[in-house]
């Protein structure tokens, strides 16, 4: 039985949290350490000043450690402060909303928590779900309603099925972090694709809410490079995107450019 640390960026109130923890228990011993509130769009921020608190609580009958800091704080503390040994695997999610495309992946607290696992030498995977068509805010409201509980249980089982397959395929040996984006109605039989990260950005993030006051607003992906074979393209096709992420490394620079730069 492996030791699994489950974290997220949607906090203790996420409707995915307990269903995912219970589904993951079929793989091993699960410790849950998540932010004490939603901490989306925070990337891999780490608390530098002040203190971070951990409080043991119970959510829907399941033990949970609530962290006052960011998702990466929760992962860091879950790895190094909880238990006698670090976990064998960090699992982050299931996030409410896709984390596909470079701009969103780099902004994601869900992915940021998984990256913190890699920094600590622990294999890590992030799961994110969403809808491609329709009003995202309306979907989120429905996803957080009691009527969606069965859907979250089914999706959690699907994520565990995918995780088993990825471990059997030894994908973790060829990545630093694995990012999985899947539709909310995905099943183990939903078409699955190994993808590149779409090099896309986004438009304006904030709208004016008063003099000098701005609030996070609707945003849209701005098309960048070719999307075929990317995580964004697969989401548009209703498939499951599996991205084996390699973390920052220097670009390959042509020799001619290198000669002009170096002294």
Q: Which two tokens stand for residue 255?
A: 């020799």
DSSP string, 234-246: HHHTT-EEEEEEP
Over 80: is that where the pLDDT of 218 sits? no
234: domain CATH number? 3.40.1210.10
What is the residue whose two structure tokens read 């002294």?
263
| Neighbouring-strand partners of residue 68 | none
220 falls within a domain: no
Average pLDDT for residues 244-252, to the nearest whole number? 92
Over 70: is that where the pLDDT of 225 sits? no
Look at residue 132 in the predicted model and tell me its pLDDT: 83
Over 70: is that where the pLDDT of 199 sits? yes
185 falls within a domain: yes
Over 80: is that where the pLDDT of 141 sits? yes
Look at residue 49 in the predicted model and tell me its pLDDT: 92
Report pLDDT digits (tens) over 100-129: 999 999 999 999 999 999 999 999 999 999
Instruction: Decide: 180 and 155 in contact? Cβ < 8 Å.
Output: no
Q: Which two tokens stand for residue 225?
A: 């490079």
Q: Which of 72, 42, 108 is nearest to 243 (CA)?
A: 108
Over 70: is that where the pLDDT of 189 sits? yes
Look at residue 224 in the predicted model and tell me its pLDDT: 64
80 falls within a domain: yes
208 falls within a domain: no
pLDDT band with cut points at 50, 70 and 90 for residue 137: confident
Look at residue 201 in the predicted model and tell me its pLDDT: 86
Beta carbons within 8 Å of 14's beta carbon, 6+ residues apart: 8, 34, 38, 94, 96
Element (H, E) at 136: helix 136-143
207 falls within a domain: no
Q: What's phi and psi for 126, nearest 5 deg?
A: -120, 135
Q: Any idea what the Cα angle at residue 174 is, between residues 168 and 176, rounded to 5°?
A: 110
What's the rounded Cα separation, in Å, for the pair 10 and 154?
19
210 falls within a domain: no
What's the rounded Cα separation, in Å, for the pair 263 and 260?
8
Q: Which of 229, 126, 134, 239 is nearest to 185 (CA)?
A: 239
DSSP string, 120-163: TT--EEEEEEE-SSS-HHHHHHHHTSGGGHHHHHHHHHHHHHHH
Over 90: is that where the pLDDT of 156 sits? yes
Q: Domain span at residue 62?
A: 2-198+227-261
| Neighbouring-strand partners of residue 244 | 178
Number of domains in the chain: 1
Q: Which of 56, 17, 18, 23 is nearest to 38 (CA)?
A: 17
212 falls within a domain: no
Instruction: Decide: 122 and 92 in contact? Cβ < 8 Å.
Output: no
Report pLDDT digits (tens) over 35-92: 999 999 999 999 999 999 999 999 999 999 999 999 999 999 999 999 889 999 999 9
110 falls within a domain: yes
Within 13 Å and on the Cβ side, how many CA atoms surround 90? 35
Average pLDDT for residues 221-229, to the nearest whole number? 77
């Amino acid at each position: 039985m492996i030791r699994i640390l489950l974290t997220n960026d949607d906090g203790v109130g996420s409707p995915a949290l307990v269903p995912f923890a219970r589904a993951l228990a079929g793989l091993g011993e699960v410790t849950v350490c998540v932010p004490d509130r939603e901490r989306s769009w925070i990337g891999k921020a780490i608390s530098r000043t002040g203190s971070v608190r951990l409080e043991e609580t119970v959510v829907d009958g399941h033990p949970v450690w609530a962290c006052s800091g960011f998702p990466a704080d929760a992962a860091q503390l879950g790895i190094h402060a909880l238990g006698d040994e670090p976990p064998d695997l960090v699992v982050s999610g299931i996030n409410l909303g896709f984390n596909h495309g470079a701009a969103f992946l780099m902004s994601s607290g869900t992915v940021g928590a998984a990256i913190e696992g890699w920094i600590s030498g622990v294999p890590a995977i992030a799961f994110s779900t969403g809808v491609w068509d329709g009003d995202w805010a309306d979907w989120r409201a429905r996803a957080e309603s009691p009527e969606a509980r069965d859907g979250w249980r089914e999706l959690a089982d699907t994520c565990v099925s995918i995780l088993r397959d990825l471990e059997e395929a030894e994908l973790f040996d060829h990545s630093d972090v694995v990012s999985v984006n899947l539709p909310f109605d995905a099943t183990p039989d939903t078409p699955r694709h190994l993808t590149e990260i779409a090099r896309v950005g986004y438009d304006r993030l904030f709208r004016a809410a008063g003099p000098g006051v701005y609030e996070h607003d609707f945003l849209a992906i701005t098309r960048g490079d070719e999307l075929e074979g990317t995580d964004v393209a697969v989401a548009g096709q209703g498939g499951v995107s599996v991205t084996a992420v390699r973390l920052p490394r220097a670009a390959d620079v042509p020799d001619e450019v290198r000669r002009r730069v170096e002294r």
